Amino acid sequence: MVLLQRPHILLLLIGTHQFLQCWIAFGSFNEEGQKQEEFSEELLLKPLPDHKLLAHFHFQSSAPPSTSNGCHHHLFPKVISQLVQKFRVKEMELSFTQGRWNYERWGGFDPISSSNAKPPGVELWAVFDVPQHHIDASWKNLTHTLSGLFCASINFLESTATYSTPEWSFPPASGNVRYGTLPCEAVCTENLTPWLKLLPCRDKAGIALLLDRPSLYRGFYHSQRLHLTSTESSSEGIDSGIILEQTLTVVLQPNSERAVEVHASEKHIQPSWSLSSIFGKQVSGRCVLAKSSSVYLLLDRGLVAELKFPNKENGKSAANGLTSENVWSNPSFELSANPDRIFLEESSSHSKSLSILYMFQVEKCSESEPFDIGLMWKVPVAWLCQQTPLHASRFLMGSGNERGAIAISLKSTQFIEGFMSANSKDGSCELRVDVFQVVPWYVKVYFHSLRVFVDQQPRAVSDIIEKIHVSPSKDKMSPGVMEVVLKLPCRVNTAALTIEFDKGFLHIDEYPPDANQGFDIPSAIISFPNFHASMVFLEDDSLSKSPLLSKFQEKCPVMSYTEVLLVPLTTPDFSMPYNVITITCTVFALYFGSLLNVLQRRAAEEERFLKAKAAKKTGRLPLLLSMLSAKLRGRRREPLHSPPSSSSFINSKLVLKVILVAGLAVGWQYFFS
Amino acid sequence: MEKVKKKIGSFSFWNWVIASIIFRLILIYFPKNLNLSSRPEVSTPLTSFRRLAEGYWLKQSSMSPYAGSMYHGSPLLLSLLGPLTIKRIEGQPNHLLYSLVSVIADVVSAMLIRATGKNLRLASLRSLESLDLVKQIKVSEFLFSGDIAALIYLCNPFTIVACVGLSTSPIENMAVILCLYGACSRLIPLAAFGWVIATHLSLYPAILIIPVIFLLGCGPDSPPRKLFLQRHQQKEVLNQSKLPPHFSWGPIIHFAFWAFLWSVYVLVLCGISLKQFGGLWEMFKSTYGFILTVEDLSPNIGVLWYFFAEVFEFFRNFFLIVFHVNILFMILPLAIRLRHRPCYLAFVYVTICSMLKSYPSVGDSALYLGLLGWFVNELADMQFSLFLFCGYVGVSLLSPVMHNLWIWRGTGNANFYFATAMVYACLQIVLVVEGVSAMLNHDRKLRNLIISRPQDAKS
């Protein structure tokens, strides 16, 4: 027995050893290549001026190029890498949003708002690395795949009437980009769950543990985004593989009952909050697979300017003076935990004050000692977030269901004045604004009716519009796309674009079930290419750069989305198809029948005349036939000589007719079988 | 209706013409208040002024005018009228020049109608003379049908609305009338030109080739040859010189040659203007294809828009074929029965087309109502003329009201507007049927006169 067992144990030992060796070798290979699958989780919290709190979850996974380690993944979701490989997606962004980002209160000039404020519903754009004529097919397949992946009706973006091809105004600026939106798509947990499944720890550990559904969906704004960059298929540049960036941005109202009780007299005081109070949960440990997991608290420039830091008067040298001690123990607020690190924004020319970022590591916490941070306000603070140079809004004009006009109005915010001095070098200061507008085909836009108003004065279109690209809508084929570059003077107060449209009439089957609700016109994208929202934080060591902070450093143009418009369209009577068909056909039959009747009717004496003739001759039919043949020959009718000859003539004609009809029938059968 | 016409006829012709022009000019100076150019009765997708302007804009920004589903007209119209859509004179209404072109087109059409009417009248008098019926039918009581037709055309509210509403139908109507005028006065190149242009602009006038062939072949109004022979059989005297001419093929070949020449010319011009935008195929697809497939379902005074908005997708092609074949089916019977009156045949064809076409507008109705004036004498005892007149007035008052209720106020329903369109179609059907019936009765009366006169002489 023992002898028999030994070889087995030996084999087992050898096997284990080999496996371990392989495993070690694999690990060392990864270290050598310095390309590992990485995952990091971060959460950014930011108090907003209107007593709300912004929570921005940022999960980033990256996979090395598939050439180095095949199609096996440790952390990276396999679905995504398959999707990238199959459809050769170069870059893709999918967002599900509920609610509208309030640009006036929540700001529009920081990296979070310009890349995470999304239009309501679903927005999808993708850049493909395939030849031009394959792009549409790839897009179609991609929409179907994503539809299955995220339990959403993204497959409605499949038809050519719903997506568009932006030429140059859309950020990725390439001919291979496709863009589509579904403004009326409802977003709910069924979309969040598949999104969470892409995370290595799902929502079982780490920061994702905070994603408590009821508190998330109670928020004012909720946007889950998936951004994918792949350099795998491109030949040029650094081959960095696939980077999957998943963000979830929520704007929540901290539950401030306690604050109300205490400071009932002072309504201006910001509500105090903690992670456990806003999410109802605490982080009980980091996701062990994550490379870094940290929580940030961002106090933006406006807020920092309001807060009285002890040595703020030092100005630019404040960075040196702001030690951890004097920053987090501030007279106006109190943090419940000591920040592990504090970052200060690099001084920029844009504004006088600098934002401050507190970093908290989640590593230290455990089951028994869950991670939680809170912010307790002591004095009321009021500040303003940095806004986009021009505040954009869009509305409909006109009444009735026949025609209307879309107006995009741009209103100057005070913020622009700070820029004017910086940007006007040679006195002629110009503000460039890009407008990208997609309209569905049933909103038939008259592009020649484009009008521009600057400071409420009508201006010539060619003066203001530097560049325009239009692709008019084709019925049931493609939506209308308008890309405009406006050059506005810097001192502009208001600017407006109006464009007229006719409302289309659809076939009864093309109306959605709730036809009287109206149809949505997707948001217009207003971007300011001269302005870049970026936050560069002074860091001690560049090695431990967090993905979120490096994302902040990227120069992305300031962008804002306008409101979604709801256009009511006229509806036909949905219950009427049979009635309409029968009544119309009756009228046509009336026309046909009565006209034919009039044409072949004969007056009484004509009848008598014919009858008398018929009595004389062999019969009416041969008479008519002989008349016809006489007519055809163009000669006067000669009297028929003999009845037999005429009957044979009839027979031959009859036979000819029968043959003709039979031939027709055979031909018909043959043709349609 | 007839009484109205008579009343008009008794006034001085030129006064009425000037009055109607002045009325148009007055209306042109209030375009903002009227807003006629976006009425569904006036501007169909084919004749809309705004779509023309859009097409011109697209062309100016170096895109194909047919790039979107906006413009469906001819590229020639775009080159001729397009510049007028953006040209503005300071202190004048926006589209003054364009409106003036429409007014001129209307006046020219009216003059051509008048000249053709005179021709017709002469021809019918000659034919009555040749049948020796001049005494029985009191020719002195004959109205100047040309003047009446021209005045009906000019003073018809439909024409005025179409002209002031900046639609392109005055131009299309002018082409049709040019064709008929050319054929009546035997100006074969002109007739061919009119026919080619009318077909090019709105496709349906293509079937006018049959009346034009008859007009060129046997003249504007020849009594049926059989009738003539019958008459002379009874008299036993065959005066060969008085016989109406045989059908002559010479002018028709001439016409075919000119029609070919003009169509090649038009196609070449279109090809040049669309050279960089997809060429002629693109044009055919978005003009004729658009007419034949009824893609645009916006309401108009016809019935097809609602029908195709409601009909099941599966049957769509079937009904498209049925409705278009309905026009073609009636060509042959009418041509057989009315071949000796080619102008009347043309009128009936125009009426049927404007009733069954995919995007009818009041401009089309204006044309056939104007042409109806030619036959005042023959149709004097048409039935239901008062009913028709009241019907037209009623529909043209009710239809805007129903449209307003449905589209603007939202209190009405599509069915109400469709009902007025249905009534309008029925009125046109009654007009066609009764008109044809009255004309046949008129011919019958003539024959009876011929047959019965020798017997009267004997008794």
Tell me the pLDDT tens digit for each residue of A262-290: 554 456 678 888 888 888 888 888 888 88
Q: Does A635 touch chain B (CB under 8 A)?
A: no
Q: Does B323 touch chain A (CB under 8 A)?
A: yes
Q: In this predicted structure, what is the pLDDT of residue B424?
A: 95
Mean pLDDT, chain A, integer: 79
**CATH number assigned to the domain comprising residue A418:** 2.60.40.740
**Number of structural domains found in chain A:** 2
Report how far residue B14's alpha carbon sits from residue A449's, in angstroms, rounded to the nearest whole number: 40
Alpha helices, H only, A220-263? 257-262
B67 and A471: CB-CB below 8 Å? yes
B429 and A444: CB-CB below 8 Å? no
- Is A441 inside a domain boundary? yes
A572 and B309: CB-CB below 8 Å? yes
Report how far residue A240's alpha carbon sits from residue A547's, in angstroms, rounded to the nearest whole number: 14
Q: In this predicted structure, what is the pLDDT of residue A600?
A: 85
Residue of A588, A600, A605 with shortest CB distance to B326: A588
Asked whether residue A262 falls in the same domain as residue A397, the answer is no
- Is A84 inside a domain boundary? yes
- Is A653 inside a domain boundary? no
Residue of B296, B407, B444 with shortest CB distance to A570: B407
Q: Does A441 touch chain B (CB under 8 A)?
A: yes
Q: What is the pLDDT of residues B140-179, one digit of tens each?
A: 667 788 888 999 999 999 999 999 888 999 999 999 999 9
B99 neighbors B168 (Cβ within 8 angstroms):
no
The sign of the dihedral angle between the CA atoms of B136, B141, B144, B149 is: negative
Chain A CB contacts of B414 under 8 Å are: 570-573, 576
With cut-offs at 50, 70 and 90, classify the pLDDT of residue A24. very low
- CA neighbor of A642 nearest in space, from A665, A658, A661, A626: A626
Asked whether residue A400 falls in the same domain as residue A518, the answer is yes
Report how far residue B54's alpha carbon sits from residue B64's, in angstroms, rounded to the nearest whole number: 11
The domains of chain B are located at: 2-458
Interfacial A residues in 478-507 facing B (CB < 8 Å): 480, 502, 504-507
Q: In this predicted structure, what is the pLDDT of residue A274?
A: 87
Chain B CB contacts of A506 under 8 Å are: 297, 309
The arrangement of strands across the sheet holding A525-533 comes to: A465-471, A480-489, A430-439, A525-533, A556-561
- Mutate which: B294, B433, B439, B442, vs A, most A CBs within 10 A: B433
Q: What 3-state DSSP class applies to B285?
A: helix
Q: Is residue B49's pLDDT more than 60?
A: yes
A399 and B408: CB-CB below 8 Å? yes
Nearest-CA distance B197 → chain A (Å): 27
Q: Does A160 touch chain B (CB under 8 A)?
A: no
Chain A CB contacts of B38 under 8 Å are: 402-403
Asked whether residue A94 falls in the same domain as residue A211, the answer is yes
- Is A2 inside a domain boundary? no
**β-bridge pairing A292-299 and A38-47:** parallel
Q: Which helix (H) or strand (E) holds A135?
A: helix A135-150
Q: What is the pLDDT of residues B410-459, one digit of tens each?
A: 888 889 999 999 999 999 999 999 999 999 888 888 877 877 765 554 44
Locate the chain B residue with the closest alpha carbon to A447.
B54
Listed range (A262-266, A366-370, A472-476, B307-311) with the worst mean pLDDT: A262-266
| Residue B234 to residues A557, B134, B237, B291, Cα–Cα distance (Å) | 99, 18, 8, 52
Q: What is the pLDDT of residues A487-500, one digit of tens each?
A: 888 888 899 999 99
Which of B30 and B28 is assigned the larger pLDDT? Answer: B28
- CA neighbor of A196 nearest in space, from A36, A61, A81, A74: A61
Q: Does A584 touch chain B (CB under 8 A)?
A: yes
Which structural domain, as residue segments, surrounds residue A437?
Answer: 390-540+547-567
A401 and B436: CB-CB below 8 Å? no
- Mutate which: B48, B52, B70, vs A, most A CBs within 10 A: B70
Give percent of chain A with pLDDT exceeding 70: 77
- Is A19 inside a domain boundary? no
Which of B57 and A345 is assigned the larger pLDDT? Answer: B57
- Mutate which: A516, A598, A631, vs B, most B CBs within 10 A: A598
Listed range (A149-153, A154-158, A607-611) with the worst mean pLDDT: A607-611
A505 neighbors B305 (Cβ within 8 angstroms):
yes
Distance, first Cα to last Cα, chain B = 40
- The residues, ordered by sequence, that sit 6+ positions from B239 with a Cβ below 8 Å of its Cβ are B232
Asked whether residue A399 falls in the same domain as residue A293, the answer is no
With cut-offs at 50, 70 and 90, classify the pLDDT of residue A137. very high
Q: Does B440 touch chain A (CB under 8 A)?
A: yes
Nearest-CA distance B261 → chain A (Å): 31
